[in-house]
């Protein structure tokens, strides 16, 4: 310190930096700041002033710029980031922090020094120009002025130093170690200098002096932080002094940086003299060429700009909604004002794209809720300034605001004024009330305001259109009664649609609805696990400890949330108001909600497997989604939606009870909503999902608490503690409960979150025997809310997505929003029909499956085995055994082989554990619902294929999953029902695929003893059922047949068992129908035949014929396959060929089947699978020529659309559903680990380049999938109208045994009707309209681009030729679906 400080004469010293007085704190720190970064004098050996200044110039030459750019390109920051992630020790972490702080400090110093020199040079130029006007000698004066100016700078610096406090003058900064100054300690801790030992003791002994020092330091640091993120000009004043009534004239001094404004060599008045802008002299040789646009994601700069605008618009909409919900209206207002001011610098079109009337409407409703009409009027002026037009929602907000203000003459005059203004704009009061969206009491308040001046006004709401607008379904419109024309007398035959919904009283349904609402409000459901495990000796002790930990964690989490939110608040406080931050999103919920979310996540992570853990990014997103889901439910509770749903659902239950309706569920719901539109919130409110970057930021906030504040004592499981530790109350070995590790995932290394081993052991030992599921992952206890709009349906409160799409895929949503609502009704009604079917668990079969599962599973029966059943790998001999001669030395090849086997063993363990957990969840849920009726809400993928929303317990999936569920509604078998039941049993075995129906029924009678034995002794008898292709479904059918066989009257037996009618290679059926291919149609049973045509057996026969020829010619792989070219081996490949399977995928499919054959030599699996893949593809091409032509046309169209037009392939299904393939090129962007600011960028498929390879390969299968989903939906709606119970698993249709004939008839009729439409012609017409180029788009220069455009137009018109197959033959084909 003696080297650093010049010690003063012995006199009493005062404060270290005279910072005790608060009035001079800011000035002193500003002066200190200037002193730290004062430009050092130039060191040069010459006396020329110009040369001296040249060394100080911060303007780089062109050579310097090129060298710097090259240096930047050579950087590889991702390696540095990876190294940083690996630095986990305390020492390396602090060193990294110090390095970062030094870097920030250096950058700031360089920036200030560069700015100072630029100002000096500008001054010199101005004075030179002034002297030129006075006809002075330019050369001499220039040198004179520069030298003089440099002296001024030095003098002013010395002057400033003299004005410093005495303590600062004592500091010789040249003697201070550079690392101390460069470390940027002012960012973290104050750097205090003391003169003498005695003074140090006096200061430390006086807390008030220390507090004054720290207070002045904090003031200085706050100013630095507020500058750090100020990337733009000061665009807003303080809201308290902000008024929208008059334009702002900002003082230039106020716009300057607070530190820049006190520099001694800057005079604001002198800068105002330079009124004329100086244009730089740009030489054509040295002029910078325009930067070439390069992007892997966007086609051009315009697309990139539109993408950014779209992302910003989405972020602003979400942020403003959250601000209004959190009652942070000032922040919402400043955000709008900030972006409004920012876009003024750009063109008007950009402003209109970003600041829309919808954003103003959000804020208007926020102020209207408080009755703040003055603020609303100021916003109205802004709207007019921006050139925006009022919408119906704007007037609704104005009326709401005026309705909350006390009625007087002025109030009524304003209401009348806005009514007149709306009418002049073309909006009637009825339109305003009908088209606006309301929450809580907004509708009632707005109506009350209107009635102050129009007392007799009663809004007339436009009735919804209930019917279809589709040629395939217009015949069903005959059953639709328009809204307002309902009568009490409805013909009984027209109420057949309610047959599949009968059997439940209103009281029963309302009770079920209350239970379902409670589950959704809780957010999760906890059930008992069926896992059979031994009780640990210390289980009770561990449960007690876990309970104590739970209580401790809750306290820690609550305190951490308050602490971190306060930190965020303090940081946000000193940032500009105009940017979006995560603090606002985190203020929408109480800390108790965050505590519950984190506690559930702790248990979920702690119970995870050893082989899989979520990555940090996945955990961010998952936690963010939990917060969003909780926020949406809380919002519905507070805005009146929950209460109104209860009222409408009660009326809906009454309709189910009475059965007197000829409407489907969507039409019933629409009528009920329309009846109650006179009051309360709107029921068609679209929920605004949070963008992915917001979910990540919110999740990161909770993740930091999870990793930093959740602790566990490493010795918590020790029951017998030593005497020393027993007396202490505080745990001595507290460690973080979670840590991260890096694991290879393919070509990437991902950071994963793992629980501490002690925590995992504690949970395992406590054996909670429970499983917890989110409420949107389990079946519903009451009928789901019907889909009436694309945004409302499924669960009562939880958000259900209509279409399963990645978050960046917004293009299809745009098409859906723009389409006619009636065009979506067929898809919505089909989802509602499938969701309205009540289910129950087949308890008789469930008990058998649980017994097998608890006894260790069975691979042959497809019941997963635990990973512990996998035999361990043989170990290599140790070095000691080799030295002693007990074992032979191990070669490198053997070690490499063991390493590969170990990797395979771990992979197999992971697969087994995954399958075992899936079965555990499914069986535990089935056990929980075994005595309950439940419903499965449905949604669809982007092609229109439907799926149940609950993933664990449903009728999709494996044989085991399908076997456990039966219909809740029982129906008598009737005359032919028993025959259909027996036929279904034989179909499931797969033994009589090539036999007629009559032969199958005869075979069923022959093996009736085996069927009955299987039903009576499923695990101890002859187990005939276990040899079936679908063993568990076969066993369930055997049990049902036994019950019917032993009943007194089989025709009157009430059966709940579903009978399946499966399509015969349904993808090829659609291809054959599209091309009218007679040969192909016969091979897939579109044409009538005495026995079923099995395309899989036909392809296998062709492959076998080729194999025999190759074997005779000496091909070894063909000889090895003798006797193994079976139907089952190539079935999956044939089935998926039409769905775009690649040769690689087909090879894996065939290899998997060959591995399952015990007799097949395992060494030949890969060569044989390659051989069979080639022969299978050749045989299919030989059999289905028309199919291949259509598939090639699809592929070529998609390739040209994606490659030439740079657009995603889209089409409209025959039922009117818009489809857009969501395959785009995206840059891999890592989520930021810190920061308050919400990023304005997000990826959307609207403006990104398409992935050409995926687009062209996926179009043929996706289009065929959209056709088979259309066929299923048509059949679904026809069956519902006839009162049949209908369920589908894609191309496999289920119904009661007594209604199979009606299902078969409807299925065939709808297939013929679908393919009677000009499907390919309409597709070609749509693509020509959407993608083709006009004559003016051609350059006629013979370029590749021009030729590609012409090829696109030509290809879209060249439809494949069709055959002469008559589709009406399908109506008489017995084996089309069987």
What is the per-residue burial (b if ≥16 Cβ within 10 Å, else e) of 801-826?
Answer: ebbebeebbbbbbeebeeeeeebbbb
Backbone angles phi, psi at 389, to 5 degrees: -100, 140
Beta pairing class for 524-528 and 711-713: unpaired
Q: Cβ contacts of residue 917 below 8 Å, gap of 6+? A: 609
From CA 942, how far away is CA 1218, in angstroms rounded?
A: 9
Give yes or no: 189 in active site.
Answer: no
Whether 841 contacts 1056, CB under 8 Å: no
Instruction: In whole angstroms, give the CA distance from residue 774 to residue 300.
Output: 43
d(CA 1130, CA 1149): 8
Burial class (CB in 10 A: 0-12, 13-18, 19+), 1145: middle
Q: What CA–CA distance (Å, rounded) separates 1073 from 1075?
A: 6
Q: List Cα–Cα distances, 23 to 35, 203, 212, in angstroms.
A: 20, 20, 11
Q: Which residue has the tokens 């390739």?
A: 1199
Give the pair of three-digit tokens for residue 641: 């939606």
Q: Contact, 781 vs 515, CB < 8 A?
A: yes
Q: Helices then strands (H, E): number in the chain?
A: 53, 21
Residue 1 carries which DSSP code? -
**For residue 546, what are its two tokens?**
């876990």
Residues 6+ apart with CB under 8 A from 1245: 808, 809, 810, 811, 1208, 1220, 1222, 1224
The 3-state DSSP class for residue 1343 equals: coil
Which spans in 1029-1164 are helix H? 1031-1045, 1066-1075, 1078-1083, 1095-1112, 1116-1120, 1127-1137, 1143-1155
Query: What is the largest distance, in Å, between two alpha-carbon atoms of the chain?
Result: 126
| Among 875, 880, 849, CA closest to 864 | 849
Beta partners for 1219? 1211
Closest CA to 278 of 126, 416, 155, 414: 126
Which residue out of 829, 1268, 1291, 1349 is catalytically annotated?
1291
Report the distance separating Cα 885 and Cα 878, nearest Å: 11
Task: Give the Cα separation of 411 and 423 in Å (integer).
Answer: 19
Question: Catalytic one among 858, 1062, 1110, 1346?
Answer: 1062
Active-site pick, 545, 1131, 1175, 1256 = 1131
Please give the angle made by the CA atoms of 850, 852 and 857, to the nearest 5 degrees.
115
| C-alpha triplet 1101, 1105, 1111: angle, nearest 5° | 135
d(CA 1314, CA 1266): 12
Handedness of CA 46, 50, 52, 55 (dihedral sign): negative
- Judged on CB neighbours under 10 Å (0-12, 13-18, 19+), 743 is middle
Distance of CA 811 to the CA centre of its chain: 15
What is the C-alpha separation between 977 and 75, in angstroms, rounded?
Answer: 75
Query: For residue 1295, how many C-alpha atoms fall within 13 Å in the half-sphere facing its CB?
Result: 28
Task: Tell me, yes or no, if 1229 is annotated catalytic.
Answer: no
- The Cα–Cα gap between 329 and 803 comes to 33
Catalytic residue status for 1062: yes
Would you say 722 and 766 are in contact if contact means Cβ atoms under 8 Å apart?
no
The residues annotated as belonging to the active site are 1062, 1131, 1291
């Amino acid at each position: 310190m003696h080297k650093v400080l010049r010690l003063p004469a012995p006199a009493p010293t005062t404060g270290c930096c005279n910072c005790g007085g608060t009035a001079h704190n800011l000035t002193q720190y500003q002066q200190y700041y200037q002193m730290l970064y004062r430009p050092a004098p130039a060191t040069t050996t010459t006396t020329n002033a110009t040369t001296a200044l040249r060394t100080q110039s911060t303007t780089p030459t062109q050579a310097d710029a090129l060298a710097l750019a090259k240096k930047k390109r050579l950087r590889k920051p991702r390696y540095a980031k990876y190294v940083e992630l690996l630095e986990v020790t305390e020492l390396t972490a602090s060193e990294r922090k110090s390095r970062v702080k030094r870097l920030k400090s250096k950058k700031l110093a360089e920036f200030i020094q560069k700015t100072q020199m630029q100002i000096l040079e500008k001054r010199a130029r101005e004075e030179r120009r002034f002297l030129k006007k006075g006809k002075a000698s330019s050369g001499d004066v220039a040198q004179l002025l520069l030298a003089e100016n440099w002296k001024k700078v030095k003098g002013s610096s010395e002057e400033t130093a003299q004005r410093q406090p005495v303590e600062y003058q004592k500091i010789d900064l040249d003697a201070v170690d550079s690392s101390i100054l460069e470390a940027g300690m002012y960012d973290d801790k104050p750097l205090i200098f003391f003169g003498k030992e005695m003074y140090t003791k006096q200061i430390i002994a006086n807390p008030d002096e220390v507090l004054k020092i720290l207070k002045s330091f904090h003031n200085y640091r706050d100013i630095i932080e507020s500058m750090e993120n100020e990337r733009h000009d000061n665009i807003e004043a303080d809201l308290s002094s902000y008024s929208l009534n008059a334009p702002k004239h900002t003082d230039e001094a106020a716009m300057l940086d607070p530190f820049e404004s006190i520099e001694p060599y800057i005079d604001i008045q002198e800068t105002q003299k330079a009124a004329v802008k100086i244009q730089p002299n740009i030489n054509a040789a040295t002029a910078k060429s325009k930067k070439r646009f390069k992007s892997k994601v966007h086609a051009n700069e315009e697309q990139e700009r539109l993408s950014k605008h779209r992302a910003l618009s989405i972020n602003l909409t979400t942020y403003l909604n959250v601000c209004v919900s959190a009652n942070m209206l000032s922040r919402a207002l400043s955000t709008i004002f900030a972006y409004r001011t920012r876009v003024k610098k750009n063109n008007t079109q950009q402003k209109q794209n970003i600041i829309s009337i919808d954003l103003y409407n959000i804020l208007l409703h926020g102020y209207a809720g408080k009755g703040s009409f003055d603020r609303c009027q100021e916003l109205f002026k802004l709207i007019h300034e921006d050139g925006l037009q009022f919408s119906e929602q704007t007037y609704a907000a104005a009326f709401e605001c005026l309705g909350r203000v006390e009625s007087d003459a002025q109030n009524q005059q304003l209401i009348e004024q806005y009514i007149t203004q709306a009418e002049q704009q073309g909006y009637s009061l009825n339109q305003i009330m009908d088209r606006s969206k309301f929450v809580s009491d907004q509708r009632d308040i707005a109506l009350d305001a209107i009635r102050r001046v129009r007392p007799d006004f009663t809004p007339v709401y436009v009735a919804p259109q209930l019917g279809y607008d589709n040629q395939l379904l217009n015949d069903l419109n005959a059953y639709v009664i328009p809204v307002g024309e309902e009568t009490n007398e409805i013909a009984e035959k027209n109420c057949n649609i309610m047959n599949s919904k009968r059997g439940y009283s209103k009281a029963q349904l309302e009770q079920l609805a209350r239970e379902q609402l409670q589950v959704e409000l809780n957010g999760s459901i906890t059930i008992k696990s069926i896992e059979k495990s031994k009780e640990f000796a210390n289980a009770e002790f561990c449960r007690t400890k876990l309970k104590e930990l739970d209580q401790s964690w809750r306290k820690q989490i609550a305190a951490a949330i308050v602490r971190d939110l306060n930190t965020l608040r303090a940081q946000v406080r000193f940032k500009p108001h105009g940017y979006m931050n995560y603090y606002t999103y985190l203020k929408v919920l109480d800390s108790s909600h965050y505590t519950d979310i984190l506690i559930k996540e702790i248990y979920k992570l702690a119970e995870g497997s050893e082989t899989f853990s979520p990555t940090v990014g996945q955990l961010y997103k998952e936690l963010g989604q939990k917060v969003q889901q909780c926020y949406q439910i809380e919002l519905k509770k507070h805005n009146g939606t929950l209460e109104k749903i209860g009222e409408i659902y009660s009326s809906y239950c009454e309709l189910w009870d009475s059965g007197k309706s000829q409407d489907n569920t969507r039409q019933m719901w629409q009528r009920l909503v329309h009846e109650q539109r006179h009051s309360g919130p709107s029921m068609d409110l679209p929920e605004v999902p949070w963008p992915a970057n917001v979910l990540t930021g919110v999740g990161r906030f909770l993740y930091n608490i999870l990793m930093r504040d959740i602790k566990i004592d490493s010795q918590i499981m020790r029951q017998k503690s030593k005497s020393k530790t027993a007396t202490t109350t505080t745990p001595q070995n507290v460690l973080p409960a979670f840590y991260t590790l890096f694991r290879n995932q393919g070509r990437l290394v991902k950071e994963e979150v793992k629980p501490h081993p002690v925590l995992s052991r504690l949970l395992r030992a406590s054996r909670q025997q429970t499983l917890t599921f989110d409420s949107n992952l389990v079946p519903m206890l009451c009928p789901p809310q019907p889909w009436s709009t694309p945004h409302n349906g499924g669960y009562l409160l939880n958000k259900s997505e209509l279409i399963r799409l990645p978050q960046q895929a917004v293009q299809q949503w745009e098409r859906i929003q723009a389409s006619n609502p009636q065009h979506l009704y067929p898809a919505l009604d089909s989802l509602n029909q499938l969701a309205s079917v009540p289910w129950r668990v087949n308890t008789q079969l469930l008990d058998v499956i649980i017994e097998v599962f608890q006894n260790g599973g069975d691979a042959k029966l497809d019941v997963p085995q635990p990973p512990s059943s996998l035999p361990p790998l043989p170990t290599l001999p140790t070095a000691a055994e080799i030295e002693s001669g007990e074992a032979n030395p191990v070669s490198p090849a053997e070690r490499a082989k063991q390493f590969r086997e170990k990797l395979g063993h771990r992979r197999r363990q992971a697969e087994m554990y995954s399958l075992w957990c899936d079965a555990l969840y499914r069986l535990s849920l089935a056990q929980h619902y075994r005595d309950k009726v439940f419903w499965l809400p449905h949604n669809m993928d982007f092609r229109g294929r439907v799926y149940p929303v609950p993933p664990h317990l449903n009728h999709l999936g494996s044989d085991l999953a399908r076997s456990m569920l039966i219909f809740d509604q029982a129906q008598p078998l009737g005359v032919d029902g028993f025959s259909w039941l027996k036929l279904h049993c034989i179909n499931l075995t797969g033994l009589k695929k090539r036999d007629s129906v009559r032969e199958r029924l005869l075979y069923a009678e022959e093996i009736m003893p085996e069927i009955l034995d299987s039903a009576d002794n499923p695990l101890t008898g002859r187990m005939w059922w276990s040899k079936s292709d679908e063993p568990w479904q076969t066993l369930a059918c055997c049990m049902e047949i036994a019950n019917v066989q032993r009943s007194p009257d089989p025709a009157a037996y009430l059966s709940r068992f579903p009978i399946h009618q499966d399509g015969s290679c349904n993808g090829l059926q659609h291809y054959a129908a599209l091309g009218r291919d007679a040969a192909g149609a016969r091979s897939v049973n579109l044409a009538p035949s005495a026995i079923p045509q099995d395309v899989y057996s036909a392809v296998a026969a062709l492959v076998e014929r080729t194999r025999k020829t190759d074997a005779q010619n000496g091909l070894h792989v063909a000889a090895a396959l003798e006797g193994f070219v079976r139907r089952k081996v190539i079935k999956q490949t044939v089935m998926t060929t039409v769905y775009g399977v690649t040769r690689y995928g087909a090879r894996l499919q065939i290899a998997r089947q060959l591995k399952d054959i015990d007799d097949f030599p395992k060494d030949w699996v890969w060569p044989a699978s390659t051989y069979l893949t080639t022969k299978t593809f050749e045989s299919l091409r030989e059999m289905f020529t028309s199919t291949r032509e259509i598939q090639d046309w699809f592929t070529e169209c998609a390739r040209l659309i994606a490659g030439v037009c740079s657009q995603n392939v889209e089409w409209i299904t025959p039922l009117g559903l818009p489809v857009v393939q969501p395959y785009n090129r995206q840059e891999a962007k890592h989520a930021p680990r810190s920061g308050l600011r919400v990023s304005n960028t997000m990826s959307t498929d609207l403006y990104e380049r398409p992935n050409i390879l995926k687009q062209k390969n996926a179009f043929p299968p996706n289009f065929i999938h959209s056709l088979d989903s259309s066929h299923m939906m048509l059949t679904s709606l026809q069956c519902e109208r006839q009162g049949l119970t209908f369920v589908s698993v894609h191309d496999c249709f289920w119904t009661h045994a007594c209604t199979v004939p009606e299902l078969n008839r409807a299925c065939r009729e709808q297939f013929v009707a679908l393919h009677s439409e000009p499907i390919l012609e309409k597709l070609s017409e749509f693509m020509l309209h959407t993608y083709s180029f006009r004559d003016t788009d051609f350059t006629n220069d013979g370029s590749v681009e021009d030729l590609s455009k012409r090829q696109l137009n030509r290809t879209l018109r060249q439809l494949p030729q069709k055959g002469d197959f008559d589709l009406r033959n399908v109506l008489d084909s017995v084996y089309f679906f069987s």
